Amino acid sequence: MSRTIRHPAALGDPAVPLPATAGDAYGHLAPLISRYWGPDMHYGLWDGPDDDAPFPVATERLTAMVIERLGVTRADRVLDVGCGNGRPAAEIARRYEARVVGVDIDPAALARAREHAHARGVGHRVMFLACGGPAVPFADGAFQAALAFESTPHFDLGPLFAELSRVLAPGGRLVVETPCLAGRGRPDPAVDAYLRMLGGRSLETVETHRRHARRHGLSLVDAEDITGRVAPSFHRLAAVLRAHRDELAGRYGPGRADALLGIFDAWAAARGVQASIMTFAKTGGGHACRPGARGGGRG
């Protein structure tokens, strides 16, 4: 059985409902991340130690890699679960002229998402809704593709995959990009600290994702390990934050600033953690091998 690390709030403490915790966490961290990282609150993609691409360029690279695997066309409707600032959703609408619905728990992030979509000229193709999930207010089979960009650690995978399978049309495609446990064994203590910081629920293995998805009619088509290319993300962010420690202390207080720096440093050096892009196809229909989607699944 795969090892799971759980945030205590996920164990049913009614005084700390998980969606509020996650929303508060991102609301608190968003100014910090956007100032030193950029508007995309997800990993960046680098080609090696000599690649000095700035954070915004690196995050745009990962966005492009992930959304390409959706294989969407102009006729498709796409759901982005945990859309955050809405950059991937807007890029899907811009690049493929698809209709996109983004859902997130953070009202401030949704406001930024709407502003960005309009600035990119795709506001008429993208809709953003406040939703704690995993349930979304859409009919069965309403979407041809779905995206979960570093959002699965905030959900129980069973209910999440059940809902995504419900709203996907037969043959629809789900792409999940996420940090995950590399395998069985005792995880690095940094994992739990990272989850607490983000109001996360659990970190799972690729195999656990595959098993839960399969139970709900979603077959794993491909699982790509991108750990080596995203690893610089937290090393570089930790270094930048440490260089601005005094500014952080002024904003958050010395104790909290040092705690945040410690968490980022530990996560950057964590063992037994990988980053993966998983592509799933819903049983039935004719979209499973559409152009732009990878095949030859592993895991």
- Would you say 50 and 109 are in contact if contact means Cβ atoms under 8 Å apart? no
The DSSP symbol for 274 reads E
Question: What angle do the packed helices 190-198 and 254-268 form, to 10 degrees?
Answer: 130
pTM of the entire structure?
Answer: 0.83
DSSP 204-236: -BHHHHHHHHHHTTEEEEEEEE-HHHHTHHHHH
CATH code for the part of the protein at 5-282: 3.40.50.150
Sign of CA dihedral 85, 179, 18, 133: positive
**Spatial contact of 229 and 53, defined as CB atoms under 8 Å apart:** no
Task: Please state the domain extents for the chain.
Answer: 5-282
> Which letter does DSSP use for residue 276 in this model?
E
Average pLDDT of the chain to the nearest whole number: 83
DSSP 8-class letter at 187? P
For the segment 69-104, what is each residue's pLDDT rounded down to a tens digit? Answer: 999 999 999 999 999 899 999 999 999 999 999 999
* 97-155 pLDDT per residue, tens: 999 999 998 888 899 999 999 999 999 999 999 987 788 999 999 999 999 999 988 88
- Please state, in angstroms and rounded to a whole number, the distance separating the CA atoms of residues 123 and 42: 22
